[in-house]
């Protein structure tokens, strides 16, 4: 074999080895980037899951509180109605102070109920956003894993 051919083959071999090293390095960088992305998404998913759980608990507490207050308001309303139905001319004078206390409590409770209802709706909106974020992170993680050839089952 001539010297030129040997040098040419050596150059081709060196270029091939260099190309394989570059391609292998690029593959390692891609794997590391994929691993970093998976870890970032998993961390975000964990935080979103914790936030969703807290949000769900807060929502349940707010709902229970509102339902309990609703029962109290219904009871006060029934008491007010009972006072007002005792006599066609109105609440008897000797029970008027008691009636006013219950009536004021009823009115105050309705205002409290409205505030709690607003807070409940606010919590519900925040929870919806938290759950949507959790779902988006779940979908993103599935896509990254699928693209990496990892089954998500």
Is residue 76 a part of any domain in this protein?
A: yes
Does any domain span residue 75?
A: yes
pLDDT at position 9 is 72
Average pLDDT, the chain: 85
Residues 32-36, mean pLDDT to the nearest whole number: 84
**For residue range 69-108, what is the model confidence (pLDDT) as tens digits?**
999 999 999 999 888 887 777 788 888 899 899 999 999 9
Is there a domain that residue 105 lies in? Answer: yes
Q: Select the more confidently predicted residue: 29 or 136.
A: 136
DSSP string covering 43-85, please? HHHHHHHHHHHHHHHHHHHHHHHHHHHHHHHHHHHHHHHHHHT
126 within domain boundaries: yes
> Would 11 be classed as within a structural domain?
no
Quote the CA–CA distance of 152 and 38 in Å, as a whole number.
12
Task: Report the pLDDT value the prediction gives residue 50, as an integer from 0 to 100.
Answer: 93
What digits encode the pLDDT tens for the residues 129-148? 999 999 999 999 888 888 88
Contacts of 91 (CB under 8 A, 6+ apart): 83, 84, 99
Return d(Cα 148, Cα 35) in angstroms, integer: 9
Q: Domain count of the chain? A: 1
| pLDDT value of residue 108 | 92
Q: What is the pTM of this model?
A: 0.64
In a domain, 65, yes or no: yes
| Comparison of pLDDT for 35 and 86, the residue scoring more | 35
Q: Which of 61, 52, 42, 31 is nearest to 138 (CA)?
A: 42
Assigned domain for 94 exists: yes
Q: Which residue range(s) make up the domain with 68?
A: 59-140
């Amino acid at each position: 074999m001539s010297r030129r051919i040997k040098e040419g083959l050596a150059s081709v071999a060196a270029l091939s080895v260099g190309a394989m090293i570059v391609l292998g390095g690029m593959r390692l960088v891609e794997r590391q980037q994929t691993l970093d992305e998976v870890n970032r998404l998993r961390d975000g998913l964990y935080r979103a899951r914790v936030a969703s759980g807290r949000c769900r608990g807060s929502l349940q507490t707010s709902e229970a509180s509102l339902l309990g207050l609703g029962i109290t308001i219904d009871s006060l309303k029934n008491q007010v109605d009972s006072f007002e139905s005792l006599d066609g001319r109105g609440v008897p004078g000797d029970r008027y102070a008691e009636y006013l206390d219950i009536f004021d409590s009823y009115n105050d409770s309705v205002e409290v109920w409205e505030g709690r209802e607003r807070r409940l709706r606010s919590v519900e909106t925040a929870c919806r956003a938290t759950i949507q974020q959790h779902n988006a992170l779940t979908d993103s993680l599935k896509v990254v894993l699928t693209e990496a050839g990892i089954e998500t089952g």
